[in-house]
Amino acid sequence: MNRKDNYIEVNVKFVGYVYKGRDVEKQTFLVQKGMTVQGLIEKIQSDMCDKIDFNRVVVIVNGAPLTPGKAKKYILNESDTVSFVMALAGG
């Protein structure tokens, strides 16, 4: 079996983030089949270190917001679009 058969591509959008001096927009991530949104968050945290504070993020998958509990359970599908939206502090 081809190793790529164990992976899928998901689209990831970062809304309101700057990384290495540039706005982070849409990226495609190659992730293992069966990975949850929480697993994707952990992968991004390890890749981008401390650049994104996921405690202040609203997670949206295919237009629907996810609670942290659902993020731990939602299994990513091929061509899903996951958006991480920076939550603004209330004033």
Q: What is the mean pLDDT of each run of 10 residues along the chain (91 residues)?
A: 78 76 75 94 77 78 92 93 77 43
Query: Would you state the pLDDT for residue 22?
Result: 64
Question: What's the sign of the alpha-carbon dihedral 62, 90, 72, 54?
Answer: positive
Going along the chain from its start, the domains and CATH numbers come out as 3-86 (3.10.20.30)
Query: Would you state the pLDDT for residue 81?
Result: 94
SS3 40: helix
Query: Would you state the pLDDT for residue 23?
Result: 64
Look up the pTM and report it: 0.77
Query: Would you state the pLDDT for residue 70?
Result: 92
Query: Would you state the pLDDT for residue 85?
Result: 87
